[in-house]
Amino acid sequence: MHAYHGRINNWNLLTLALVLLDYLCIVLAYGLALYIRFDGNSANIPPDIQAAYKGSVFNYAWLSIAVCIVAGLYKFDWRTVGYGLIARNSLVVVLPIALYWLVMLRVFGHMPVSYHFVGGLMQFFMFLCSRMGCKAVIIAKHQKRKSIKCGNKSIA
Q: Look at residue 115 and tell me if it is in a domain.
A: yes
3-state secondary structure of 38: coil
The per-residue pLDDT for range 10-68, each reduced to its tens digit, is: 667 778 888 898 899 999 999 999 998 887 888 888 888 888 888 888 988 998 899 88
* Domain assignment of residue 129, yes or no: yes
Query: Considering the domain boundaries, does residue 26 fall inside one?
Result: yes
The answer to the question of residue 37 being in a domain is: yes
Q: Tell whether 2 is covered by a domain.
A: no
pLDDT, one tens digit per residue, over 70-94 is 887 777 665 566 677 777 777 777 8
100 CB-side CA count, 13 A:
31
The pTM (predicted TM-score) of the whole model is 0.75
Give the number of domains in the chain.
Answer: 1
Q: 50 in a domain, yes or no?
A: yes
Angle at the Cα of 124 (from 17 to 141), degrees rounded to 5? 40
Residues of the domain holding 45: 10-149
Burial class from Cβ neighbours inside 10 Å (0-12, 13-18, 19+) for residue 101 reads middle
